[in-house]
Structure 1
Amino acid sequence: MGANLQRQLTDKERNRFLRGAVFLMATSAIGPAFLTQTATFTEQFMASFAFAIVVSLIIDIGVQLNIWRVISVSGMRGQEIANKVLPGLGFVIAGLIIFGGFAFNIANLGGAGLALNVLFDFPPALGAGITAVITIIIFSIKNYGKVMDRLMQAFGIIMIIMTGYVMFSTDPPYQEALIRTFVPEDWMILLLPIVTIVGGTVGGYISFAGGHRLVDAGVTGKENVGFVSRAASYGILTTGVMRIFLFLAFLGVVSAGFTLDENNPASTAFLVGLGDIGYYMFGVVLFVAAISSVIGVGYTSISFLRSFHPVFEKYNSWFIAGFITISATIFILIGQPVQLLIIAGALNGMILPIILVTILVASRKKSIVGDYKHPMWLIIFGAITAVVTVGASIIAFRGLLDLF
């Protein structure tokens, strides 16, 4: 059952796969858009944005627990599960996720190009090309999974430490942020940012990043449910720590009366908090966020092809390299096609409820999960989230129609 044979893990392997899945999911979510999005919402909603962050974290954990548990218990990747729930659905989901992956990868490579421009004054196109070459070299290594796991851990730790340092340097109003976490000024206006950051944290390919990594590692079967649940929760919490550190860093800046640079809002906190050296630290954080997202997008997007034909499994690393090369070529030739990013973002929001409903249906099918009993509280949690995200999908679809 599934793409990989289940196998017994040593404690050392178990811990490495746990950290690898956690940081693959977390660093895939923490890309250039994540930095900009957090800065913009903090400036707009001030301390009340803390409420949106906490609510989104709760939703994210519910989404990931549903998806990761069903994927791991079944031993199947997302597209295989979808095709078993409804023949052909897996191909649709795979197509949408790969399309979105291309669009977001172009943005990630653009972020990496900007970062290398900050650090070394390279032209953004050259920086994007260098980043693409580095990631392709990583995937050309025979046992790239182990290298990827360790790199993602290192990247995640670097981002958290540097952002935490900047947070303390900007001296944010911690007490006000704590109060507004539970008593926001107007929680109704926070619905849009909640939906937006949920989609950015667990939408599209990110939903499957860690789960597919565990399946590829052979961490499957109901006896690994506890392990998988911890990995899913730790992944969201890691993303949450980074989001909170960024939020507080930006809050310290805007509370002191500074205005974020509209062209590069995320850099302002680093500049204000630490001066010129802070700007270079921003370059490091942006580069690490961008390259880790390029790796996460490439790995997860192509994992949606691996079960469709043996050629995708046999030449997996070559297809990932091709995916990254095409993304880099598009960026170098035409830059970031804004309309493509908008369309991809809208589709990303629309696909989350489809994924959730598919997983919830799969959790009740013995042909998929065997005799595993999916907790009713998770099913209810997932169903509520699906209903909420359907509403968001309608908004996204209307926005999509406005483009044409």
Structure 2
Amino acid sequence: MGEGTPWQQVKNKLRVIGPGAIIAASFIGPGTISTATEAGASFGYSLVWAIVFAVITTMILQEMASRLGVVTGGGLGEAIREQFQKPFLKYSIMSLIGFSIALGCAAYMAGDLTGGALGISLLTGIPQNYIAPVIGGIILTIGLLGTYKKLEKIFITLVVIMSITFITTMIVVQPDVTEVFAGAFVPSIPAGSIVVIVALIGTTVVPYNLFLHASSAGERWKDPANLKQARLDIILTIGVGGLITAAVIITAGTVIRGYDVTGAEELALALEPTLGEWAAVFISIGLLAAGFSSAMAAPMGAAYTIGGLTGWARGFSDKKFKIIFSVIISIGIVTSAVGFEPLELILFAQALNGLILPIIAVFLLVVLNNKNKLGEYVNSLKLNIIGGLIVLITSGLGIYSLIEAVMGFIEG
């Protein structure tokens, strides 16, 4: 077939996929799968709208971060460091963001490793705290020996695996399409659902992904003329990421609606009448891919953030970058080996991210209005208004997450 055929045109469009796939792979972790399973089991399809909202919010913020990287060739950390001139203000902001992101990434890392290990544990019976450090060791090796381009391909592969696993499962269980569309486009807040709504949004809109996306987009594209490609990448990959999360909600809402669940592994049992012996295999592969992808993205996010804020390191060719990457993974390996519950670790990270997200979103808006840095590619008035609304909403969610975390700690 010639280059002008419809199939060739589709292939050309798919070639833009890259940094966005890293972001999608990052936010589809075991915590997202578990939260989506709980949402579907407890509330059916009625919370699918929360994922639609979260995906749109993520696309808007990630487009800003991506545009910064493509236009300037630098990351968000570098931009924040250069934005503020007064030493006290600069170093206070750098310390706050760097500490919060590093701590959040380490907590996500441990939870993602243990959650990913659950995928293998379901099939083999081997305890998660034995498997998780092995997965961490594999990721550490990949990071130390790999390059950005190689890791990008791994992330794309993992997103494809999760798409096949979870979307196929959703189709097989034959959900009520009318109800699904109502849940997606008619927002409702059933009694007792607010905690789950906050968790669904919190697992999708992740602050370190803004640093990760700006830097990875800057590595992938070197010219503002590539902005259309970067935006198409965001729409395709983050859209698919949202569809994967929605697929889990819809599947759970179809097969275990009305049941109390504690994790995604219960979804495998409920799917046995439909998928037979393949039920456990499908869910296990999906959980392993989700844990592996998120656990690989978390230390990348920390390395890009800290490296950019301090000016120490940029990219996988830099030894200091790999040191930060290795430290975060090592913390996750040790923590997961101890045998902490993954949900506790991930909930802690979600609460921390909920607090830091609106702060980083404000700094992102400040940087994206710097004409000296971005010239004609600064935010439009419309984008600033939308960004401001996102800051207000995420601030409310962050405060709520903090209150829930404190109350949970007191009650625990």
**Superposition TM-score, scaled by structure 2 size:** 0.85
Determine which of 87, 99, 102 is the counterpart of 1:98.
102
Instruction: Tell me the CA shift for residue 18 of structure 1.
Output: 3.5
* Number of the residue aligned with 2:56: 58
The sequence identity of aligned pairs, in percent, is 22
Map 1:2-401 to 2 at 5 A. Answer: 18-86=16-84, 87-88=90-91, 89-141=93-145, 143-184=146-187, 186=189, 193-217=196-220, 219-255=221-257, 259=259, 261-263=261-263, 264-307=265-308, 308-310=310-312, 313-336=318-341, 341-401=346-406
Closer, same or farther: CA 98–370 of 1 in aligned 2, 3 Å: same
Closer, same or farther: CA 149–185 of 1 in aligned 2, 3 Å: closer
Task: Give the RMSD, CA atoms, in angstroms.
Answer: 2.7
Instruction: Tell me the CA shift for residue 221 of structure 1.
Output: 4.7
Instruction: Determine the C-alpha separation between the residues in 1 that align with 2:155 and 2:25.
Output: 7
Instruction: Tell me the CA shift for residue 383 of structure 1.
Output: 0.8
Instruction: Determine the C-alpha separation between the residues in 1 that align with 2:278 and 2:183.
Output: 32
Instruction: Tell me the CA shift for residue 379 of structure 1.
Output: 1.4
Instruction: Tell me the CA shift for residue 27 of structure 1.
Output: 0.7
Closer, same or farther: CA 343–182 of 1 in aligned 2, 3 Å: closer
Closer, same or farther: CA 17–354 of 1 in aligned 2, 3 Å: farther
**Is residue 101–residue 298 contact of structure 1 (8 Å, CA) maintained in 2?**
yes
Per-residue CA distance 1:158-210 (angstroms, 9 max, x = gap): 11112122112222111221233333555797665444323211222223333
User: Which segment drifts farther, 81-90 or 144-153?
Assistant: 81-90
**Is residue 270–residue 278 contact of structure 1 (8 Å, CA) maintained in 2?**
yes
SS of alignment partner, residue 68 of structure 1: helix
Instruction: Tell me the CA shift for residue 37 of structure 1.
Output: 0.6
SS of alignment partner, residue 122 of structure 1: coil
Per-residue CA distance 1:283-323 (angstroms, 9 max, x = gap): 11111111111111121211122232546733423432332
Per-residue CA distance 1:189-239 (angstroms, 9 max, x = gap): 76654443232112222233333212233x245333222222222232021
Question: Match for 1:209: what amino acid?
Answer: L
User: Which segment drifts farther, 238-247 or 317-326?
Assistant: 317-326
**Is residue 270–residue 281 contact of structure 1 (8 Å, CA) maintained in 2?**
no
Instruction: Determine the C-alpha separation between the residues in 1 that align with 2:159 and 2:214.
Output: 18
Closer, same or farther: CA 317–232 of 1 in aligned 2, 3 Å: same
Instruction: Tell me the CA shift for residue 353 of structure 1.
Output: 0.9
Instruction: Determine the C-alpha separation between the residues in 2 that align with 1:171 and 1:337.
Output: 31
Instruction: Determine the C-alpha separation between the residues in 1 that align with 2:351 and 2:188.
Output: 28
SS of alignment partner, residue 391 of structure 1: helix
User: Which segment drifts farther, 94-103 or 65-74?
Assistant: 65-74
SS of alignment partner, residue 306 of structure 2: coil
User: Which segment drifts farther, 175-184 or 375-384?
Assistant: 175-184
Q: Which runs of 5+ in 1 are unaligned?
A: 1-13
**Is residue 80–residue 90 contact of structure 1 (8 Å, CA) maintained in 2?**
no
* Number of the residue aligned with 1:3: none
Closer, same or farther: CA 67–193 of 1 in aligned 2, 3 Å: farther
SS of alignment partner, residue 306 of structure 1: helix
Closer, same or farther: CA 379–235 of 1 in aligned 2, 3 Å: farther
SS of alignment partner, residue 305 of structure 1: helix
SS of alignment partner, residue 48 of structure 1: coil
Instruction: Tell me the CA shift for residue 250 of structure 1.
Output: 1.2
SS of alignment partner, residue 364 of structure 1: coil
**Is residue 172–residue 252 contact of structure 1 (8 Å, CA) maintained in 2?**
yes
User: Which segment drifts farther, 93-102 or 224-233?
Assistant: 224-233
**Is residue 106–residue 332 contact of structure 2 (8 Å, CA) maintained in 1?**
yes
Instruction: Determine the C-alpha separation between the residues in 2 that align with 1:332 and 1:115.
Output: 16
SS of alignment partner, residue 211 of structure 1: helix
Instruction: Determine the C-alpha separation between the residues in 1 that align with 2:185 and 2:101.
Output: 35
Instruction: Determine the C-alpha separation between the residues in 1 that align with 2:237 and 2:255.
Output: 28
**Is residue 113–residue 132 contact of structure 2 (8 Å, CA) maintained in 1?**
yes
SS of alignment partner, residue 256 of structure 2: helix
Per-residue CA distance 1:68-94 (angstroms, 9 max, x = gap): 223432332222222233312233212
**Superposition TM-score, scaled by structure 1 size:** 0.87
Question: Match for 2:199: what amino acid?
Answer: T
SS of alignment partner, residue 370 of structure 1: helix
Closer, same or farther: CA 338–171 of 1 in aligned 2, 3 Å: closer
Instruction: Determine the C-alpha separation between the residues in 2 that align with 1:359 and 1:384.
Output: 14
**Is residue 56–residue 194 contact of structure 1 (8 Å, CA) maintained in 2?**
no
Question: Match for 1:246: what amino acid?
Answer: V
* Number of the residue aligned with 1:6: none
